[in-house]
Structure 1
Amino acid sequence: MGDFNQVEFGCDKLSMNTRSIVGAYDFNLWRISNQLVDIPFKGPRFTWCNNRQGPKRVYERIDRALGSKDWFSLFPNTGIKHYPIQLLDHAPIELDLHLTRNVSKKPYKLDARVFTYEECISIIRDAWRFQFWGTPSFQVARKCSRVRQHVKRWALDKRLEWKQTWDNFDIELERGMDLAIREGDDSLYTKTNERVREFARAAAVFWKQRAKLKWMVEGDTCTKYFFNWVKGRAGRNC
């Protein structure tokens, strides 16, 4: 445990320098040959900073602790706590034999139907254009994280609209048709009709994503019935 002065992986370094990490291969070979495992940590990722400003600033994780298989069998809850970098260029790290780690939350599952909306595609493009500084792998990771956050926020807001039922659309279409007949204004009917088409396409993608494998084994009976029903509803409202 201590300052190894060696970065092990690209994700352990944040820098404008895109060159390969010198010494990483030899360090990993030494660790594997000695059957040592990196002890998990909790807290900020980086433990060292060169304290320069702007693009010249470099962050690295070079302070770590390694343990053997025998060590983990005796202390299975061993962990390292990283503290923030404060007065010095290194951050303090602390070995804890009973470290309580953050319980991972259930991952958010994104519905495939979000990609049927041009609005969502535009959000993805705008989020991806945002520039980060660092190694190529770090830039891609940050871009993916930014896209995921923006799409998740948009999808959660869209849920209220997805909860609408076909009966709601029927009522709006009847109002739109009545308005078109009485006053010659078909804007409400046209707008609602477009929403029905969009809703039907999204619903089809949503249920296709959740189709059970056994349905396919049994001849796709359920999915065929459902898609024919959606097609019939969409056709009836067009």
Structure 2
Amino acid sequence: MKALCSSYSPLCMIGDFNQVEHHYDKLGGSSNITGWKSFLDWRINIPLSELPYSGPNFTWANKRNSSSLILERLDRCYASQDWNLLFPDAYLKNLNLFLSDHAPIVLSTSAKVKKPKRPYRVDNWCLELPAIQALISSIWNSSSLCNAATSVSLKLAKIRSAILKWVLENRHHFMLDWSLISKDLSVSAALAQDSSSAFDHITNIRSIEHDVYIQHSFWKQRAKSEFRFNDGLPTSYFFSRSKAREKRLRIFALKDDMGNWISSDMDLSNLIVSHFTCLFTSSTQSTGSLTLQDLSIPQLDGFQQDYLSRPFSASDVEYAFFSMKPNKSPGPDGFPPRFYQLFWGLIKEDITSAVLSFLNSGILPPAWNNTHVVLIPKVELPEMISQFRPISLCNVIYRAASKCIALRLKKVIDGIIGQNQNAFVPDANRDWGFRDTRF
């Protein structure tokens, strides 16, 4: 089968595979899934990635009585990397079971919805290039008549626009053919039989190190902790996995409160907004006369109050920026932590002044508070909006200011929280899918 599949490129396979891959693809019957490992090994070795789908989870049923009823997802669609590149928006729609024991499945190769226009996120891969560093230095050293916070916001906006323009004009020069690189290195390694040929092999490696590092940075930023190298070079299977993961995060359809599938853009938007509006609206009626003095709230002593009230310092701000992971997702302004860490020598005076201005005066520039809200699935195959949790992607500069406050609160928080407030215990809620609170 592998030899047959390798003769067809690009390749897309759709239909009844008569094999369950995961336990969540099956309901009822034996919990033992026969043949799943062999099937998965076959799929990975080709390699093929599964297309995302919308609609009911199960596509086959034996239609027996309740004690013997079995539902499984046997009908799927797999595609090769080159096919996914040709049809990046392809997805599968599972229809309802009716007369047959198998449900119809429909493959769509066009985008279901128009992709929203996302603000440009600065790429880490280009930040160490001399041309980009000169561009950033030129813009940042330009004079400004605005206050510190406004000046920083304007400079960041100019830098983002300039980097975007440069990347669009030069990105194709840094795209590498990994299969060709791997083949060339294998050949030169095989020829390294003496000191002269071994030196040629090392020279060959050094000649591509810089470009390899750029691609390494490009994919590492996008894949986060999922990133792995295989024998020093990324594989085609990794790229297909990254693309498949990106498609799986899209919401194609959801069930409403009545159990009906919703798939149109407008209905999905209304469903999501309605759910979270209701969720974050308090149903408790205010008594109107209750004051803080009436509540049994722990009090801070004078020393703790003085500690929290003392002005923040430049070292507090610097520590906050450098305690972040470089590849963390940026906020609406598009700058990841790596940008601030790499150019700290150039920007620290302005950035520190701007952050301290907010921390010590309480005046927050409106642009800093802009946030992207992203829905993260709490289960493998979410069907309802309640199976998503929202997270906020704040601007890194706002995140740094928040971290300064949080780190200071950490010193006194043990005395003002109850034993049952596990939201303030690091990692305590990870197993239950709640937010992991860190300081």
How far apart are 1:77 and its partner, in Å?
A: 0.5
Selected match of 1:63 from 28, 52, 75: 75
Question: What residue in structure 1 maps to residue 90 of structure 2?
Answer: 78
**Higher normalized contact order (CA 8 Å, seq sep 6+, divided by chain length):** 1
Question: How has the CA–CA distance of structure 1 residues 48 and 99 changed in structure 2, closer, same or farther, with 3 Å as cutoff?
Answer: farther
CA RMSD in angstroms, aligned pairs only: 3.8
Q: CA 1:66–1:15 in 2, change beyond 3 Å: closer, same or farther?
A: same
Relative distance call for 1:227 and 1:43 in structure 2 (3 A) is: same
With structure 2 as the length reference, what TM-score do the two structures score? 0.29
Structure 1 residue 215: deviation in Å? 2.2
More helix by share: 1
- Runs of at least 5 residues in structure 1 that lack an aligned partner in the other structure: 106-151, 174-192, 202-210, 229-238
Question: Partner of 1:112 in structure 2?
Answer: none
Aligned to 1:41: 53
Give yes or no for contact 2:51–2:78 (8 Å, CA) kept in 1.
yes
- Per-residue CA shift, 1:19-72, capped at 9, x if unaligned? x20000000000000110001111111100001011210000011110011011
Q: 2:44 aligns with which of 1, 15, 32?
A: 32
Conservation of the 8 A alpha-carbon contact between 1:80 and 1:99: no
Matches within 5 A, 1:187-226: 196-197=295-296, 200=297, 212-218=402-408, 220=410
- Which residue number in structure 2 is paired with residue 160 of structure 1? 283
Percent sequence identity over aligned pairs: 33
Q: Which aligned runs of 4 or more in structure 1 are off by greater than 3 angstroms?
A: 101-105, 155-158, 216-221
**Is the deviation greater in 211-220 or in 1-10?**
211-220
How big is the shift at 1:214? Answer: 1.6
> 1:169 matched to which residue of 2?
290
Using structure 1 for the length normalisation, give the TM-score. 0.50
Question: Match of 2:24?
Answer: 11
In structure 2, the CA distance between the partners of 1:58 and 1:215, relative to structure 1 (3 Å rule), is same
Tell me which amino acid in the other structure corresponds to 1:169. L
Instruction: Give the counterpart letter for 2:282 in structure 1.
Output: R
Separation in 2 of the partners of 1:77 and 1:3?
22
After superposition, what is the alpha-carbon deviation per residue over 1:54-101, rounded to whole angstroms, capped at 9, x for unaligned? 121000001111001101111000011111010010001111001426
> How many residues get paired?
143
- 1:88 and 1:27, CA in 2 relative to 1: closer, same or farther beyond 3 A? same
Q: Displacement of 1:158 after TM fit?
A: 8.3
What is the identity, as a one-letter code, of the residue corresponding to 1:85?
A: L
- Are the equivalent residues in 1 in contact too, given 2:54–2:252 (CA < 8 A)? no
Other structure's SS at 2:289 match? helix
Secondary structure of the corresponding residue to residue 92 of structure 2: strand
Identify the residue that residue 66 of structure 2 maps to in structure 1: 54
Return the alpha-carbon distance in structure 2 between the equivalents of residues 60 and 220 of structure 1: 49
Whichever residue aligns with residue 77 of structure 1, its letter is: D
Q: AA paired with 1:213? A: K
Q: 1:70 to 1:103 in 2, by over 3 A?
A: same
CA distance in 2, matches of 1:22, 1:69: 27
- Unpaired segments of 5 or more residues in structure 2? 1-13, 113-249, 255-274, 299-400, 418-439
Looking at structure 1, the residues matched to 33 and 101 of structure 2 have their Cα atoms a distance apart, in angstroms, of 20
Q: Deviations over 1:109-154 (max 9, x none)?
A: xxxxxxxxxxxxxxxxxxxxxxxxxxxxxxxxxxxxxxxxxxx99x
Query: For the structure 1 residues 17 and 156, does the alpha-carbon distance in structure 2 shift closer, same or farther, using more than 3 Å as the test?
Result: same
Residue 92 of structure 1: aligned partner: 104
